[in-house]
Protein backbone atom coordinates (compact mmCIF):
# COMPACT_ATOMS: atom_id res chain seq x y z
CA UNK A 1 0.00 0.00 0.00
CA UNK A 2 1.35 3.36 -1.09
CA UNK A 3 1.53 5.74 1.92
CA UNK A 4 2.62 8.88 0.05
CA UNK A 5 -0.56 10.68 -1.00
CA UNK A 6 -2.68 8.61 1.43
CA UNK A 7 -4.15 9.29 4.82
CA UNK A 8 -4.30 6.91 7.75
CA UNK A 9 -6.52 6.71 10.80
CA UNK A 10 -5.06 5.47 14.07
CA UNK A 11 -7.76 4.95 16.66
CA UNK A 12 -6.28 4.91 20.15
CA UNK A 13 -3.43 6.83 18.51
CA UNK A 14 -2.55 8.68 21.72
CA UNK A 15 -1.84 5.41 23.57
CA UNK A 16 1.24 3.21 23.65
CA UNK A 17 0.80 0.94 20.61
CA UNK A 18 -1.18 3.60 18.72
CA UNK A 19 1.34 6.44 19.11
CA UNK A 20 4.18 4.21 17.89
CA UNK A 21 2.08 3.35 14.84
CA UNK A 22 1.30 7.03 14.20
CA UNK A 23 5.03 7.79 14.21
CA UNK A 24 5.81 5.01 11.70
CA UNK A 25 2.94 6.01 9.39
CA UNK A 26 3.98 9.68 9.41
CA UNK A 27 7.61 8.67 8.74
CA UNK A 28 6.34 6.50 5.87
CA UNK A 29 4.71 9.51 4.20
CA UNK A 30 1.02 9.31 5.21
CA UNK A 31 -1.09 12.08 6.68
CA UNK A 32 -2.36 10.65 9.97
CA UNK A 33 -5.39 11.29 12.15
CA UNK A 34 -4.76 10.51 15.80
CA UNK A 35 -8.27 9.50 16.88
CA UNK A 36 -8.50 9.10 20.64
CA UNK A 37 -10.48 10.10 23.69
CA UNK A 38 -7.33 11.45 25.37
CA UNK A 39 -7.09 15.08 24.28
CA UNK A 40 -3.90 16.21 26.02
CA UNK A 41 -1.65 13.34 24.91
CA UNK A 42 -3.22 13.15 21.44
CA UNK A 43 -2.82 16.87 20.76
CA UNK A 44 0.74 16.87 22.14
CA UNK A 45 1.70 14.07 19.74
CA UNK A 46 0.10 15.90 16.80
CA UNK A 47 1.96 19.13 17.74
CA UNK A 48 5.24 17.23 17.92
CA UNK A 49 4.78 15.53 14.53
CA UNK A 50 3.80 18.66 12.57
CA UNK A 51 1.36 19.20 9.75
CA UNK A 52 1.01 15.56 8.67
CA UNK A 53 -0.58 14.59 12.02
CA UNK A 54 -3.95 15.84 13.27
CA UNK A 55 -5.64 15.01 16.56
CA UNK A 56 -9.41 14.46 16.54
CA UNK A 57 -11.14 13.61 19.80
CA UNK A 58 -12.90 10.34 19.07
CA UNK A 59 -15.04 7.81 20.91
CA UNK A 60 -15.15 4.41 19.21
CA UNK A 61 -18.73 3.88 20.33
CA UNK A 62 -20.06 6.93 18.49
CA UNK A 63 -20.72 6.75 14.76
CA UNK A 64 -20.64 10.55 14.44
CA UNK A 65 -17.38 10.79 16.31
CA UNK A 66 -15.61 8.10 14.26
CA UNK A 67 -16.97 9.63 11.05
CA UNK A 68 -15.60 13.02 12.08
CA UNK A 69 -12.13 11.50 12.44
CA UNK A 70 -12.50 9.78 9.06
CA UNK A 71 -13.55 13.07 7.47
CA UNK A 72 -10.47 14.78 8.88
CA UNK A 73 -8.40 12.03 7.24
CA UNK A 74 -10.13 12.17 3.85
CA UNK A 75 -9.73 15.97 3.88
CA UNK A 76 -5.96 15.35 3.84
CA UNK A 77 -5.90 12.53 1.25
CA UNK A 78 -7.79 9.30 0.44
CA UNK A 79 -8.03 7.09 3.55
CA UNK A 80 -6.10 3.92 2.76
CA UNK A 81 -5.00 2.70 6.19
CA UNK A 82 -6.96 2.28 9.43
CA UNK A 83 -5.29 0.87 12.53
CA UNK A 84 -7.38 0.46 15.65
CA UNK A 85 -5.52 0.24 18.97
CA UNK A 86 -8.09 1.65 21.38
CA UNK A 87 -8.14 0.55 25.00
CA UNK A 88 -10.99 -0.01 27.43
CA UNK A 89 -12.04 -1.31 30.82
CA UNK A 90 -10.69 -4.35 32.66
CA UNK A 91 -13.43 -6.74 33.76
CA UNK A 92 -13.28 -9.34 36.52
CA UNK A 93 -13.78 -12.98 37.44
CA UNK A 94 -16.93 -14.89 36.50
CA UNK A 95 -17.63 -15.30 40.24
CA UNK A 96 -15.87 -13.41 43.00
CA UNK A 97 -14.66 -15.17 46.14
CA UNK A 98 -18.15 -14.86 47.71
CA UNK A 99 -19.83 -16.45 44.69
CA UNK A 100 -21.21 -13.14 43.39
CA UNK A 101 -21.36 -13.20 39.58
CA UNK A 102 -19.58 -10.61 37.48
CA UNK A 103 -22.08 -7.79 36.89
CA UNK A 104 -23.74 -8.29 33.53
CA UNK A 105 -23.31 -4.59 32.75
CA UNK A 106 -19.60 -4.85 33.36
CA UNK A 107 -19.28 -7.78 30.97
CA UNK A 108 -21.33 -5.96 28.34
CA UNK A 109 -19.28 -2.78 28.71
CA UNK A 110 -15.99 -4.60 28.06
CA UNK A 111 -17.42 -6.41 25.03
CA UNK A 112 -19.07 -3.25 23.76
CA UNK A 113 -15.97 -1.08 23.93
CA UNK A 114 -13.39 -3.59 22.70
CA UNK A 115 -15.41 -5.70 20.24
CA UNK A 116 -18.31 -3.52 19.08
CA UNK A 117 -16.02 -0.45 19.11
CA UNK A 118 -13.56 -2.26 16.83
CA UNK A 119 -16.36 -3.22 14.44
CA UNK A 120 -17.64 0.36 14.43
CA UNK A 121 -14.25 1.64 13.31
CA UNK A 122 -13.82 -1.19 10.80
CA UNK A 123 -17.20 -0.70 9.10
CA UNK A 124 -16.96 3.11 8.89
CA UNK A 125 -13.34 3.06 7.67
CA UNK A 126 -14.26 0.41 5.09
CA UNK A 127 -17.12 2.57 3.82
CA UNK A 128 -14.78 5.53 3.25
CA UNK A 129 -12.10 3.31 1.67
CA UNK A 130 -14.59 1.70 -0.72
CA UNK A 131 -14.84 5.06 -2.52
CA UNK A 132 -11.09 5.15 -3.27
CA UNK A 133 -9.61 4.46 -6.68
CA UNK A 134 -7.91 1.05 -6.54
CA UNK A 135 -4.11 1.06 -6.35
CA UNK A 136 -2.95 0.60 -9.98
CA UNK A 137 -0.36 -2.04 -9.00
CA UNK A 138 -2.22 -4.09 -6.38
CA UNK A 139 -5.90 -3.32 -6.87
CA UNK A 140 -6.15 -2.43 -3.16
CA UNK A 141 -8.45 0.31 -1.90
CA UNK A 142 -7.35 0.07 1.70
CA UNK A 143 -6.14 -1.98 4.64
CA UNK A 144 -7.70 -2.26 8.08
CA UNK A 145 -5.83 -3.53 11.13
CA UNK A 146 -7.52 -4.51 14.41
CA UNK A 147 -5.83 -5.19 17.72
CA UNK A 148 -6.79 -8.34 19.61
CA UNK A 149 -4.62 -9.93 22.33
CA UNK A 150 -3.25 -13.36 23.05
CA UNK A 151 -5.96 -13.29 25.76
CA UNK A 152 -8.33 -13.84 22.84
CA UNK A 153 -6.85 -17.36 22.63
CA UNK A 154 -5.78 -18.09 26.22
CA UNK A 155 -7.39 -15.60 28.60
CA UNK A 156 -6.29 -15.84 32.21
CA UNK A 157 -8.29 -15.70 35.45
CA UNK A 158 -10.24 -12.43 35.48
CA UNK A 159 -10.25 -12.07 31.68
CA UNK A 160 -13.59 -13.67 30.87
CA UNK A 161 -15.00 -10.47 29.34
CA UNK A 162 -11.73 -9.22 27.84
CA UNK A 163 -10.96 -12.68 26.42
CA UNK A 164 -14.46 -12.87 24.91
CA UNK A 165 -14.09 -9.42 23.34
CA UNK A 166 -10.62 -10.12 21.95
CA UNK A 167 -11.70 -13.58 20.75
CA UNK A 168 -14.53 -11.80 18.97
CA UNK A 169 -12.07 -9.53 17.17
CA UNK A 170 -10.11 -12.59 16.04
CA UNK A 171 -13.39 -14.18 14.91
CA UNK A 172 -14.51 -11.20 12.85
CA UNK A 173 -11.21 -10.87 10.98
CA UNK A 174 -11.78 -13.51 8.30
CA UNK A 175 -15.48 -12.80 7.60
CA UNK A 176 -14.74 -9.06 7.41
CA UNK A 177 -11.90 -9.75 4.95
CA UNK A 178 -14.26 -11.93 2.91
CA UNK A 179 -16.99 -9.26 2.97
CA UNK A 180 -14.55 -6.57 1.88
CA UNK A 181 -12.74 -8.60 -0.79
CA UNK A 182 -15.18 -7.31 -3.41
CA UNK A 183 -13.96 -3.76 -2.80
CA UNK A 184 -10.27 -4.60 -2.48
CA UNK A 185 -9.90 -3.87 1.23
CA UNK A 186 -7.68 -6.16 3.31
CA UNK A 187 -8.31 -6.88 6.99
CA UNK A 188 -5.71 -8.13 9.44
CA UNK A 189 -5.48 -8.39 13.22
CA UNK A 190 -2.47 -8.27 15.52
CA UNK A 191 -2.70 -10.23 18.79
CA UNK A 192 -0.01 -8.76 21.04
CA UNK A 193 1.50 -10.59 24.01
CA UNK A 194 2.73 -8.28 26.78
CA UNK A 195 3.84 -4.81 25.66
CA UNK A 196 5.32 -1.99 27.73
CA UNK A 197 2.73 0.78 27.40
CA UNK A 198 1.00 3.38 29.58
CA UNK A 199 -1.91 0.92 29.91
CA UNK A 200 -0.09 -0.65 32.89
CA UNK A 201 0.35 2.71 34.64
CA UNK A 202 2.54 2.63 37.71
CA UNK A 203 2.55 -1.20 37.70
CA UNK A 204 4.69 -1.27 34.53
CA UNK A 205 8.04 -1.90 36.25
CA UNK A 206 6.56 -4.68 38.41
CA UNK A 207 4.93 -6.27 35.36
CA UNK A 208 8.18 -6.10 33.39
CA UNK A 209 10.04 -7.73 36.29
CA UNK A 210 7.45 -10.49 36.62
CA UNK A 211 6.59 -11.12 32.98
CA UNK A 212 9.81 -10.27 31.15
CA UNK A 213 11.60 -13.47 32.26
CA UNK A 214 8.60 -15.62 31.24
CA UNK A 215 8.89 -14.59 27.59
CA UNK A 216 10.91 -17.26 25.71
CA UNK A 217 12.98 -14.82 23.60
CA UNK A 218 13.66 -11.96 23.81
CA UNK A 219 13.10 -12.15 27.58
CA UNK A 220 11.32 -8.83 27.97
CA UNK A 221 8.05 -7.07 27.26
CA UNK A 222 7.45 -5.93 23.70
CA UNK A 223 8.21 -2.34 22.76
CA UNK A 224 5.40 -0.32 21.14
CA UNK A 225 7.53 0.22 18.05
CA UNK A 226 7.66 -3.56 17.55
CA UNK A 227 3.87 -3.51 17.29
CA UNK A 228 4.12 -0.56 14.85
CA UNK A 229 6.61 -2.46 12.69
CA UNK A 230 4.19 -5.39 12.45
CA UNK A 231 1.39 -3.00 11.47
CA UNK A 232 3.63 -1.51 8.78
CA UNK A 233 4.49 -5.00 7.48
CA UNK A 234 0.77 -5.74 7.12
CA UNK A 235 0.22 -2.42 5.34
CA UNK A 236 3.13 -3.15 3.02
CA UNK A 237 2.32 -6.77 2.11
CA UNK A 238 -0.58 -7.08 -0.36
CA UNK A 239 -0.92 -10.83 0.25
CA UNK A 240 -1.60 -10.55 3.99
CA UNK A 241 -5.37 -10.78 4.50
CA UNK A 242 -8.02 -12.36 6.72
CA UNK A 243 -5.55 -13.48 9.40
CA UNK A 244 -4.65 -12.76 13.01
CA UNK A 245 -0.96 -12.76 13.76
CA UNK A 246 0.39 -13.33 17.28
CA UNK A 247 3.14 -10.88 18.24
CA UNK A 248 4.30 -12.32 21.54
CA UNK A 249 7.90 -13.62 21.28
CA UNK A 250 6.54 -17.10 22.02
CA UNK A 251 4.80 -16.48 25.36
CA UNK A 252 1.67 -18.49 26.22
CA UNK A 253 -0.48 -17.26 29.10
CA UNK A 254 -1.04 -19.76 31.89
CA UNK A 255 -3.95 -19.67 34.37
CA UNK A 256 -2.99 -16.38 36.00
CA UNK A 257 -1.69 -13.39 34.10
CA UNK A 258 -1.63 -9.66 33.56
CA UNK A 259 -4.60 -7.76 32.17
CA UNK A 260 -3.36 -7.90 28.53
Ligand X SMILES: NC(=O)c1ccc[n+]([C@@H]2O[C@H](COP(=O)([O-])OP(=O)(O)OC[C@H]3O[C@@H](n4cnc5c(N)ncnc54)[C@H](O)[C@@H]3O)[C@@H](O)[C@H]2O)c1
Q: Three-state DSSP class for 252?
A: coil
- Specify the DSSP element, H or E, that contains 225: helix 224-236
Query: Would you count residue 147 as binding ligand X (CB under 6 A)?
Result: yes
Residue 169 CB-half CA count within 13 A? 38
Whether 227 is a known active-site residue: answer no
Catalytic residue among 162, 200, 227, 239: 162
Closer residue to ligand X, CB minimum distance, 12 or 155 = 12
CB 42 within 8 A of CB 63: no
Q: Residue 132 contacts by C-beta under 8 Å, 6 or more apart in sequence? A: 78, 79, 80, 141, 142
CB 132 within 8 A of CB 70: no
Closer residue to ligand X, CB minimum distance, 110 or 185 = 110
- Specify the DSSP element, H or E, that contains 235: helix 224-236
Query: Would you count residue 36 as binding ligand X (CB under 6 A)?
Result: yes
Closer residue to ligand X, CB minimum distance, 149 or 173 = 149
The residues pairing with 79 across neighbouring beta strands, listed in sequence order, are 7
Query: Binding string, 175-204, against ligand X, x = CB under 6 A?
Result: -----------------x-xx-xxx-----
Binding segment for ligand X among 44-52, 54-62, 126-134, 178-186 (CB under 6 A)? 54-62
Task: Give Cα separations from 242 to 33, 58, 157, 234, 239 (angstroms).
Answer: 24, 26, 29, 11, 10
Closer residue to ligand X, CB minimum distance, 199 or 234 = 199
Query: Would you count residue 17 as binding ligand X (CB under 6 A)?
Result: yes
CB 166 within 8 A of CB 124: no
Minimum CB separation of residue 227 from ligand X in Å reads 8
Closer residue to ligand X, CB minimum distance, 152 or 184 = 152
Binding segment for ligand X among 26-34, 35-43, 68-76, 174-182 (CB under 6 A)? 35-43
Query: Would you count residue 155 as binding ligand X (CB under 6 A)?
Result: no
Which residues are tagged catalytic?
Answer: 162
Using CB under 6 A as the criterion, which residues of the chain lie in contact with ligand X when the complex forms?
A: 11-12, 14-18, 36-38, 58-61, 85-88, 113, 117, 147, 149, 192, 194-195, 197-199, 260
Amino acid sequence: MQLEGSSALVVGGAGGLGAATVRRLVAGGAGVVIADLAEATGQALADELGERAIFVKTDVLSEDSVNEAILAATDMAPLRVSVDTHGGPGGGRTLDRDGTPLAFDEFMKVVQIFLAGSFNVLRLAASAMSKNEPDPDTGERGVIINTASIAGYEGTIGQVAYGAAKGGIIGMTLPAARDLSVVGIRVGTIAPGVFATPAYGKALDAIEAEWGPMVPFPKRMGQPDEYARMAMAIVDNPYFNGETIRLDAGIRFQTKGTRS
